[in-house]
Amino acid sequence: MNKVTLLDREFHFGIGFLNELLNGLGVRLDELGQQDEVFLVPKMMYYSQRYAYNRQSKPIDFTLQDIFDLIDDNGGINGQFWTDFYTAFMDSMNKNVPADTSKKKAKAAK
């Protein structure tokens, strides 16, 4: 699953979203896991929705502050919106990901 609709808003995941998130945060992919979820998830929501808008050629008419307000208005970090978004993101990273079925063996160094 590369996208989810929550609270009538589309959030899109995938490589394009990750690229925008990493560029926006100024971090590398291997540094993403070092971020505190309380600060990271709202930014993930922002860049995920922003990427969805870009894919549809829609003007970006929201800010990160709007995402903070959306979270606060929908139960905060313990609310269903937060949980549903986080679950959808994790599913996009782990479910239906093609397995490496190659049987290649590493060659010994000469």
Assigned domain for 100 exists? no
- Residue 11 located in a structural domain: yes
Segments in the chain below pLDDT 70: 1, 96-110
Contact between residue 52 and residue 10 where contact means Cβ atoms under 8 Å apart: yes
What is the structure's pLDDT at 100? 60
Going from the C-alpha of 6 to that of each of 28, 82, 83, 86, 91, the distances in angstroms are 28, 10, 11, 11, 15
pLDDT at 107 (0 to 100): 60
pLDDT of residue 28: 93
The pTM score is 0.82
- Alpha carbon distance 58, 105 (integer Å): 47
- What's the confidence (pLDDT) of residue 92? 86
Specify the pLDDT at position 5. Answer: 95
Q: How many domains does the chain have?
A: 1
Q: Is residue 63 part of a domain?
A: yes
User: For residue 109, is it within any domain?
Assistant: no
Q: What is the model's pLDDT at position 11?
A: 96
- Specify the residue for token string 């990493």: 22
64 located within any domain: yes
> Domain range holding 89?
3-94
